[in-house]
Amino acid sequence: MADTLHFEDWSCPLPLRNYPRIVLGHGGGGKLSEELIENLFLPAFRNPALENLGDASVVELPPGRVALTTDSFVVRPLVFPGGSIGELAVNGTVNDLAMCGARPLYLTAGFILEEGLELSLLAHVVERMAEAARSAGVQIVAGDTKVVEKGHGDGLFINTAGVGVVSPGLVLGPSSARAGDKVIISGTLGDHGVAVMSVRAGLQFETTIQSDCAALHGLAAEILQVDGAVHVMRDPTRGGLAATLNEIARASRVGVMLQESAIPVDPQVQAACELLGLDPLQVANEGKLVAIVEGGRAPEVLLRMRAHPLGRRAAIVGEITADRPGLVAARTTMGAIRAIPLPLGEQLPRIC
């Protein structure tokens, strides 16, 4: 007796419109791959360089030094309050460039799709990603898609690379902090990590905690107008403010003393952290920056930061010291001093 055929398991050759979910054929390089690119990715990211569909895109760069970066995004869930993996991929890469003082120009995007991913969800993520790119003033000029078998991924992973140009003479880096500099952060800490975690844990608050996911290139450009005042800029993503400042302290061979009472944390984020046993200083942010600024010019930088929509709650939270090189500490509201160590591992996995 012949085996029974199960047509629901077949994956090709049907047109894209008949598939509600990703099938292996979408990554096979054939008709289904072509339809996925032409019907989904090209309309969303449309620009002349991408439409050539060549092995690489040729783009124009203005004079200046070039900054390059790459990042991968594996956040779960794919859509969360205040954003999605799509915005995260664009904004995260834009921010990595902006923290070097670069003007972001072009991105590439690689999509690892898991068999069974709903096409409507992928379309939503791609649409949000395209909108984030338009808002940030960057073009996605090259891309790639691969499909892995069901059970070998988690829906969707995105890898991005970015290129931007840096103005002549501008040098920023983690080894440039100096004793007497002030530490400024652009707003409340921990919003992104707690927003993602609250969805996973099913936590209920009076209002939904929103991710702070945002492109920081405009804010960075604004404070760099205070010529020569900014020595270091970083976005405190994984490991939060604690990891960022420890990396700067070690690279610059300086100490950092924070004033705990000056560090802005949303009350609901603080409550969630206490519930989950987290330190908000170690929770990831996706729309905040840390600036190490020449002490005497810190007030001017702070004013410019607060005048920008993404820096309204900016605050000077500490200073760079010559003693205890490599150590980050905070003076508590009780007057005691506590060490702020580099996080040992991952407090909140899969949040970016």
Residue range 62-81: average pLDDT?
Answer: 96
Alpha helices in 154-239 (DSSP H): 191-201, 217-223
Residue range 275-301: average pLDDT?
Answer: 96
The answer to whether the Cα torsion of 41, 43, 48, 51 is positive or negative is positive
Strand partners, 183: 292, 318
For residue 52, what are the contacts with CB-CB under 8 A and spacing of at least 6? none
pLDDT at 9: 56
C-alpha span between 167 and 138 (Å, rounded): 17
C-alpha span between 213 and 132 (Å, rounded): 10
Q: Residue 1 — very low, low, confident or very high, per pLDDT cuts 50/70/90?
A: very low
**Residue for token digits 């030094």?**
65
CA torsion, ordered 19, 22, 24, 26, to nearest 10 deg: 80
At how many degrees (to 10) do helices 191-201 and 267-276 cross? 50
* More confident site: 53 or 289: 289
Total residues belonging to the chain: 352
pLDDT at 10: 47
Instruction: Yes or no: say if 312 and 220 are a contact pair by the CB < 8 Å rule.
Output: no
Q: Residue 5 — very low, low, confident or very high, per pLDDT cuts 50/70/90?
A: very low
Average pLDDT over the chain, rounded to an integer? 93
Token output for 232: 């270091």
C-alpha span between 128 and 138 (Å, rounded): 14
Exposed/middle/buried for 339, CB within 10 Å: 0-12, 13-18, 19+?
exposed
SS3 of 38, please?
Answer: helix
pLDDT, tens digit, for every residue of 86-116? 999 999 999 999 999 999 999 999 999 999 9
Instruction: Yes or no: say if 80 and 193 are a contact pair by the CB < 8 Å rule.
Output: no
DSSP state of 2: P
pLDDT at 346: 75
Q: Residue 249 — very low, low, confident or very high, per pLDDT cuts 50/70/90?
A: very high
Amino acid at 59: V
C-alpha span between 316 and 301 (Å, rounded): 10
Least confident range of 22-26, 129-133, 178-182: 22-26
pLDDT above 70: residue 271:
yes
Q: Domains in the chain, start-ordered, CATH in brackets?
A: 21-57+64-166 (3.30.1330.10), 181-339 (3.90.650.10)
pLDDT, tens digit, for every residue of 222-236? 999 999 999 999 999
Q: State the Rg of the chain over Cα.
A: 22
pLDDT at 2: 45
Residue range 277-292: average pLDDT?
Answer: 96
Residue range 43-72: average pLDDT?
Answer: 93
pLDDT at 150: 96
Q: Residue 12 — very low, low, confident or very high, per pLDDT cuts 50/70/90?
A: very low
**Residue for token digits 């405009």?**
218
Q: What percent of the chain has pLDDT over 70?
A: 95
Q: Residue 69 — very low, low, confident or very high, per pLDDT cuts 50/70/90?
A: very high
Q: Residue 4 — very low, low, confident or very high, per pLDDT cuts 50/70/90?
A: low
Q: What's the predicted TM-score (pTM) here?
A: 0.92
pLDDT above 90: residue 16:
no
Q: What percent of the chain has pLDDT over 90?
A: 84
pLDDT at 37: 93
